[in-house]
Amino acid sequence: MSPQTETKASVGFKAGVKDYKLTYYTPEYETKDTDILAAFRVTPQPGVPPEEAGAAVAAESSTGTWTTVWTDGLTSLDRYKGRCYHIEPVAGEEDHILPM
C-alpha cells in the first residue's frame, strides 16, 4: 500500500468495530404510544453479555452497523435508532433471551 493511500484512508473517520450497548442499550427508556415494539429471541455467543446482544439486534434492525461509516452523521440517530430497553430470560431455555 502506498503512503498516499494510507494517508487518504486515515482522514475523515476512524474505522473500527463499535460497542453496540453504548448507543442502543437504554434501560431507562420509557416507551411512547407512537413506538413500534418488537421482541426477538436471541442466543448470545459465549462471552457476549445479554445487553450487548440485545443492543446488537436493535442496532442492526435500524440505523446501526458493525463499523463506522461516513453516513452516520446524515440521519438523526436519536430519532431513528432502535433501542433495547428491557431483557428477559426465556423460560425453560438456558442462554436464551428476549431483548425488547
Residue 67 zone, left/alpha/beta (φ > 0; ψ -120 to 50; rest) = beta
Domain boundaries, given as residue ranges, for the chain? 14-99
**Contact, 77 vs 63, CB < 8 A?**
yes
Task: Indicate whether 13 pLDDT > 70.
Answer: no
Q: Residues of 79-91 as b/e, b for ≥16 C-beta within 10 angstroms?
A: eebbbbbebeeee
Indicate the pLDDT class of residue 18, thresholds 50, 70 and 90. confident
Residue 4 is predicted with a pLDDT of 46
Stronger pLDDT, 28 or 69, i.e. the higher one: 28
Mean pLDDT rounded to a whole number for the chain = 81
**Contact, 75 vs 65, CB < 8 A?**
no
Residue 52 is predicted with a pLDDT of 93
Write the class of the CATH domain 14-99.
alpha beta
Average pLDDT over residues 24-52: 93
